[in-house]
Chains A and B, each alone.
Chain A
């Protein structure tokens, strides 16, 4: 079939479309992300929100580029005649374009990776004042929290179905399950780890905002998975102690294993 060289490409129009789409993408990234994501109450959550913004801004020109090509192609390169279109100019390869594309994507990937590793390191180096341990038990279908600090301060055990932690103090969680795998998640604190039977997983976080936050199970654990919701209260140190003293004395931690 005859070559048809009438498929022109106007760099200016293409760049205009690309620029507009990129601008929209960046605007959505910066304005939309904080509005859509949960409010942050910790450094980890803040890091997560910031990362989403940065990744979105980085992805915006890439996505915009692909969409711009599609829009341009559908606008300018449609065959408007009847029947089978004539063949177009055979562009088999363009070494410069391929190298540039792979090079840019490698650079972007490297940037995303370095950012991600740095964010991960900063999330894991949690170091705050007066670290307090809370033992979290996931069970079908309720979270329960045990406060060893009560044994130290009040000489009896305290267990509760809500999490109460003091502001700006480091909270260390030891998390386990007595039956199946559950997922311990405090959305506003940006921390999540599974509660596995037979293992103890750990989390550390420093809450930096007072408030009441949800805790939800995120690993399907059977019948009432969607009911494994409780609250986390980030309160002042004084409120925490008042609350702790008001809790009834609980039985010592069960050492019995499951009845056979």
Chain B
């Protein structure tokens, strides 16, 4: 196969179809969103009393909802239900228009149902949110370079750490499941598209809609309660809490829509012969992660709704002097919060295991055990939430049972290591950047996982909860493990979406900066925590200065590593070395279609006769 990069040069015949959707795009989304926000802000003047502290909250909430609905309207998300309601059928030309046919680069700014376009949009969005969260991280670490506050006071600092946390959580939820769960997964199933193409576009643009109120929070006074927005301080803090809450509810709409789409696609749209035991491991990971998200994320939206009601409508779910309790918030939050970290982790693990097979030239080790491990993590994660509440004083008699369930999770987690190690065992290791990021993941995940075990033990948790030790633990897992997996996935699949390689040398420089940076930053942070430094402190006692200086230096090293990969992506998109459609000689279906991938993926839907891990096996040896 020759390596041609076939850009959409020909806009063949005049594209018909689309109707008013031809005029709608990201720009009109913003315009109508702003109109909705303004309407939402000023309309309540007529209906509500301008008395009391709830008034500003009511206006802010309705304004944020106005933004979301306006944005949906302006981007064309409501066109489908609108047309259905009026009885207007989509013509074939309409559907082709929606899929972005013959629109060139413009389709990336529009409500496009092609899962491949949605995948690339998710990649850009994830990088933007990661960048915003990263800037906040650097501001936080810079301010922590010495005791006392410097260029921000504690009020601003609290807002920064809250938004940093939420932005990073959102970007990690979408970092692997977004670009690759959309672009790669349907092709891996042998499908032409996802089960619900319009919902696909909706899930992406809804995250964009959610990101705006989230960032707005910083500019209307911020919030003082962390990304975990514990009640009752979430009821006390400023009006920024309302935009934050609406952003979360909006985001959960997106994850729910995406989860439904993912699960339905995998369960119903696999091609002939693609039985569940021949499915690539990344698709399995998407299925498990998507299903887990469907269970977990709605708790977050419900809890935020209760926060909004407590602030704006005088309810008292969380206010102690009216019979409520902050423990209710904490339970609901962590019912979401713990499974959610596995929603983040499992797709990254799936991508890394794909990389392991391709770059060891070996089948996945113990395929069924791998799936059992991922499913076991997901299932157990539903039962462990109160290990975040060991020191809250809530239900101390449940401490033992939650210790049990939490420590049990180490067994399926160990299975993940087993499968990864077994896959590279005696492989022919092809030392390309995707494999290097996998190696970094394994090294960091050990530290992240073991430190989690300390925290799961209540006597030890009594010394470490709420300290920088916890922060270092979850950064080892989120940055050192998940982010390394997400970046490895980019280096792996970049040739598929662009027809070019990411530069190997820049990739290695990026890896080593990131890897060394993670060790420097977060090992020192473990020490800060062990010595007694609490988290979320804008200014700390002088005894913590040394370890904080080291962590700050490490943060700049991580920043350098991230920027080098960003530069790599920007430079390689246009002038990277051409790769051809299957440069890694992988056997999963996405690599067997041309690059760029045709609109409907396959000329003829393939018939599957074995799993995609037949490296080293004779034809038909493993069916």
A touches B (Cβ under 8 A): yes
Contact B408 A67 (CB under 8 A): no
* Chain B residues whose CB sits within 8 angstroms of the CB of A93 once the complex forms: 365-367, 369
- A192 CA to B442 CA, complexed, in Å: 33
| Shortest Cβ distance from residue B452 to the other chain A in the assembled complex, whole angstroms | 11
Tell me whether A44 and B459 are in contact (CB under 8 A): yes
Give the CA-CA distance A59 to B535 in the complex, in Å.
Answer: 26
B459 touches A123 (CB 8 A): yes
* Bound Cα distance from A223 to B225, whole angstroms: 9
The residue from A1, A4, A44, A113 contacting B462, defined by CB atoms under 8 A apart: A44
B360 touches A88 (CB 8 A): yes
Decide yes or no whether B314 CB sits under 8 A from chain A. Answer: no
Interface size on B, residues (CB 8 A): 89
Chain A residue with minimal CB distance to B224?
Answer: A222
Q: How far is the CB of B455 from chain A (nearest CB, A)?
A: 11
Residues B615 and A179 in contact, CB atoms below 8 Å apart: no
Is B430 close to A, CB under 8 A?
A: yes
A219-B466 contact given A97-B422, A101-B415, A117-B403, CB 8 Å threshold: yes
Once A86-B361, A90-B617, A119-B459 are accepted as A-B contacts, the answer to whether A181 and B391 lie under 8 Å apart by CB is: no
List which B529-546 residues lie within 8 A (CB) of chain A.
530-532, 534-541
Q: Are B538 and A226 in contact (CB under 8 A)?
A: yes
Q: Are A179 and B462 in contact (CB under 8 A)?
A: no
A94-B366, A217-B534 known; A69+B393 contact, CB < 8 A: no
Please pick, from B439, B457, B465, B615, the residue contacting A87 in the complex, using a CB distance under 8 A.
B615
Query: When each residue 21-64 of chain A gets 1 if its CB lies under 8 Å from chain B and 0 otherwise, what string results?
Result: 00000000000000011100000110110011001100100110
Whether A116 pairs with B459 at a CB distance below 8 angstroms is yes
User: Per-position contact with A for B428-457: 1 when CB-CB < 8 Å, else 0?
Assistant: 111100000001001100110010011011
Q: Which of B200-208, B226-234, B301-309, B492-500 contacts A (4 or more CB under 8 A)?
A: B226-234
Residues of A in contact, count (CB < 8 Å):
91
A218 and B393 CA atoms in complex are apart in Å by 14
Q: Are B367 and A92 in contact (CB under 8 A)?
A: yes
**In whole angstroms, what is the CA distance A84 to B591 when docked?**
15
- Of residues B360, B369, B410, B428, which shows the largest number of chain A Cβ atoms within 10 Å of its Cβ? B428
Q: Is the CB of B453 within 8 A of A92?
A: no
- Of the stretches B319-327, B343-351, B473-481, B513-521, the one at the interface is B319-327
Contacts A70-B443, A98-B366, A220-B226 known; A193 to B463 CB distance under 8 Å? no
Min CB gap A139→B, angstroms? 13
Residues of B within 8 A of A48 (CB): 459-460, 462-463
CB-CB under 8 A from A183, the residues of chain B are 391, 465-466, 534
Q: CA separation between A48 and B529, bound complex, in Å?
A: 14
Bound together, the chains give a CA A86 to CA B430 distance in angstroms of 10
Given A3-B616, A181-B233, A187-B532: A84 and B414 interface contact (C-beta under 8 Å): no
A149 contacts B by Cβ under 8 Å: no
Closest to B403 in A: A116
Q: Is A221 within 8 A of B233, CB to CB?
A: yes
Interface centre among B393, B425, B541, B584 (most CB of A within 10 A): B393
CB proximity of A186 to chain B, nearest CB, Å: 10
**A51 with B534, Cβ < 8 A, contacts A192-B466, A193-B393, A220-B225 known:** no
Q: Is the interface of A mostly helix, strand, loop or mixed?
A: mixed
Q: Give the docked Cα–Cα distance between A90 and B423 (Å).
A: 9
Residues 150-168 (chain B) with a chain A CB within 8 angstroms: 154-155, 158
Is B236 on the interface with A (CB-CB < 8 A)? yes
Beta-carbon contact of A38 and B530 below 8 Å: yes
Q: How far is the CA of A87 from the CA of B429 in the complex (A)?
A: 10
Q: In the complex the two chains form, is B425's CB within 8 Å of A91's CB?
A: yes
Shortest Cβ distance from residue B432 to the other chain A in the assembled complex, whole angstroms: 10
| B568 CB within 8 Å of chain A | no
B418 located at the interface, meaning its Cβ lies under 8 Å from any Cβ of chain A in the complex: yes
Instruction: Flag whether A112 is at the interface (Cβ < 8 A).
Output: yes
Cβ contact within 8 Å between B232 and A88: no
Determine whether the beta carbon of B362 is less than 8 Å from that of A90: yes
- Which chain B residues numbered 248 to 277 have a C-beta less than 8 Å away from chain A? none
Chain B residues positioned under 8 Å from A219 (CB to CB) = 230, 466
A88, A190, A193, most chain B CB atoms within 10 A? A88
Q: Mark B384-424, 1 if CB is under 8 A from A, else 0.
A: 00000001110010011001100110110011011001101
B426 contacts partner chain A, Cβ-Cβ < 8 Å = yes
| A243: interface (CB < 8 Å) | no
CB-based contact A98/B460 at 8 Å:
no
Assuming the contacts A55-B457, A90-B616, asked whether A222 and B540 have C-beta atoms less than 8 A apart, the reply is no
How far apart are the CA atoms of A73 and B232 in the complex, in Å? Answer: 52
B-side contacts of A52, CB under 8 Å: 454, 460
**Quick check: A225 and B158 within 8 Å, CB to CB?**
yes
Interface 9-mer from A102-110, A125-133, A159-167, A233-241: A102-110
In this complex, which of A4, A98, A219, A222 has the most chain B Cβ atoms within 10 angstroms of its Cβ? A219
In the complex, A142 has a CB within 8 A of chain B: no
User: CA of A125 to CA of B326 in the docked complex: distance in angstroms?
Assistant: 28
One of A55, A117, A193, A214 near B391 (C-beta < 8 A): A193
In the complex, A217 Cα to B360 Cα: how many Å?
Answer: 50
Given contacts A187-B463, A214-B532, contact A109 B427 (CB under 8 A): no
Q: Are B366 and A92 in contact (CB under 8 A)?
A: yes
Question: Are A198 and B320 touching (Cβ within 8 A)?
Answer: yes
Q: Does A85 have its Cβ within 8 Å of any Cβ on chain B?
A: yes
Q: Which residues of A contact B360 (CB under 8 A)?
A: 88
Q: How far is the CA of A38 from the CA of B544 in the complex (A)?
A: 13
B367, B415, B465: the one contacting A192 at CB < 8 Å is: B465
Within 8 A of B (CB), among A194-246: 194, 196-199, 201-202, 214, 216-227, 229
- Cα distance A36–B523 when bound, in Å? 12
Among B232, B442, B535, B540, contact of A66 (Cβ-Cβ < 8 Å): B442
Query: Could you tell me if A63 and B446 are in contact, using CB atoms closer than 8 angstroms?
Result: yes
Say whether B215 faces chain A, with CB atoms less than 8 Å apart.
no
Distance to closest chain A CB from B472 (angstroms): 12
- The residues of A that contact B424 with a CB separation of less than 8 Å are 69, 73, 77
Contact of A67 among B154, B427, B446, B467 (CB under 8 A): B446
- Looking at the assembled complex, report how far the CB atom of A221 sits from the nearest CB atom of chain B, in whole angstroms: 6
Q: Is B428 in contact with A7, judged by CB distance below 8 angstroms?
A: yes
Also in contact, A191 and B417, with CB within 8 A (given A74-B429, A77-B429): no
Asked if B560 CB lies within 8 Å of chain A CBs, one says: no
Q: How far is the CA of A201 from the CA of B536 in the complex (A)?
A: 23
Interface residues of B in 276-309 (CB under 8 A from A): none
Check: B102 CB closer than 8 A to any chain A CB: no
Please indicate which of the listed interface residues A123, A199, A217 has the most CB atoms of chain B within 10 Å of its own CB.
A199
Query: When A77-B426, A85-B428 are in contact, do A216 and B459 touch as well, CB less than 8 Å?
Result: no
Cβ–Cβ contact A190 & B463, under 8 A: yes
B321 touches A257 (CB 8 A): yes
> In the complex the two chains form, is B459's CB within 8 Å of A181's CB?
no
CB-CB under 8 A from A124, the residues of chain B are 396
A73 close to B361 (CB less than 8 A): no
Are the C-beta atoms of A197 and B321 separated by less than 8 Å? yes
B325 is contacted by which of A105, A191, A196 (Cβ under 8 Å)? A196
The 7 A-B residue pairs whose C-beta atoms are closest, nearest first, are A198-B320, A218-B466, A201-B393, A87-B616, A226-B537, A7-B426, A197-B320
Query: Can you offer 14 A-B residue contacts whose CB atoms are under 8 A?
Result: A51-B460, A52-B454, A73-B429, A74-B439, A77-B428, A88-B426, A90-B613, A97-B422, A102-B411, A105-B410, A187-B532, A219-B230, A220-B536, A222-B236
* A interface, CB within 8 angstroms of B: 1, 3-4, 7-9, 36-38, 44-45, 47-48, 51-52, 55-56, 59, 62-63, 66-67, 69-70, 73-74, 77-79, 84-94, 97-98, 101-102, 105-106, 108-109, 112-113, 115-117, 119-120, 123-124, 175, 179-181, 183, 185, 187, 190-194, 196-199, 201-202, 214, 216-227, 229, 257-258
Q: 14 new A-B pairs (CB below 8 Å) besides A220-B535, A226-B540?
A: A37-B463, A85-B429, A86-B361, A86-B428, A87-B428, A90-B614, A93-B367, A105-B411, A108-B410, A179-B232, A183-B465, A198-B324, A218-B465, A223-B154
